Structure 1
């Protein structure tokens, strides 16, 4: 596989999703500070999700906290293992992740192996762009169901009215594998995205308290 070519293609697709008008999407879950939309995916037979939230920290400080294993592994309660597998270049990496169970145990832990491209755009937009891949160091394991991530990513940009705060956007589309009904996945994923933001904010508060 040409990792760099794949990463370029995924980055273009994720950027296009980020630019879409949310009026074309359906709101499926929301809180006072977090909103989750969905629509049918163009990349597989499942659902594409988009979550947006305001995070009260500058975007350049939030961004590494979101994706680097040394940070993510400390605050993300959905993750039991998250490690760097290979560095392709200074902006392209392969990660391996094992999740905890989803939906109060309705869905067993999953593992993912995925390629990530870090890309920055004019206007201080910082993004991760990811997709599942096969990697020789991580063949299929009988211990976990292998999930697949289709073009997904995180985006951080300064809030126009307050540059010290961040507009955070998550684009997520996953096939959790196994014999799961689509309705089960659709009931779990919006909550998973809200928990991601909530856990991240809690992790940031703890980090500030420890400094």
Structure 2
């Protein structure tokens, strides 16, 4: 498939995840987020879903979340060291490289991911970022990073009816970290990481309006 078709296919899959309630099991819950998991149909690992309400306007939340070079995401998301544009396919479709730091006390080495990313806006005011891994000649595997692979993943910012100062944030992570990592390390890392993701997002949004 061409990159644009892969992006649209990933967006369709993510949208289906938002309505398919089957098989999800809670693995972590805080005041800010509930994290669920189920076996992935895309690879041998799991797909993780986060559900939370952020007390801020949707556009402010999206400003913090949107995947763009030079954007706010690199500043507040502990799992993103760099976000680089590789190719602009259309106004709403890009190919990007994400570089992540080491994690789990150094057990997980720095990674990089190359994804096609599609931004979608919906009639109800929702906005989503949708991504999946692609090969691109502009970003071959690089020394110093393990090349990981994101299967359909992304975030939805959804209006809360009657509450314009609140935004529902749905997130889906479905990542093959590659390398030789114990399954237990991977399965403990993602729920912990997603809780931090929501906590840091909430702080970043509040800082926008200070």
Query: TM-score, normalising length from structure 1?
Result: 0.93
* 1:142 partnered with 2:164: no
User: How many angstroms apart in 1 are the aligned matches of 2:4 and 2:196?
Assistant: 31
Unpaired segments ≥5 residues, structure 1: none
Other-structure match for 1:180? 181
- Matching of residues 54-203 of structure 1 within 5 Å: 54-67=53-66, 68-69=68-69, 70-203=71-204
Other-structure match for 1:12? 12
Contact preservation (8 Å) 2:64, 2:204: no
Other-structure match for 1:2? 2
Higher helix content, 1 or 2: 1
User: How many angstroms apart in 2 are the aligned matches of 1:93 and 1:137?
Assistant: 13
Other-structure match for 1:43? 42
Unpaired segments ≥5 residues, structure 2: none
Other-structure match for 1:24? 23
Higher strand content, 1 or 2: 1
- Structural RMSD (CA): 1.4
Query: TM-score, normalising length from structure 2?
Result: 0.94
Q: How many equivalent residue pairs?
A: 208
User: How many angstroms apart in 2 are the aligned matches of 1:2 and 1:122?
Assistant: 27
User: How many angstroms apart in 1 are the aligned matches of 2:191 and 2:50?
Assistant: 8
User: How many angstroms apart in 1 are the aligned matches of 2:20 and 2:55?
Assistant: 24
Question: More deviation in 72-81 or 151-160?
Answer: 72-81
The change in CA–CA distance for 1:205 and 1:64 in structure 2 (over 3 A counts) is closer
Contact preservation (8 Å) 2:7, 2:93: yes
Q: Compute the displacement of 1:41 (Å).
A: 0.2
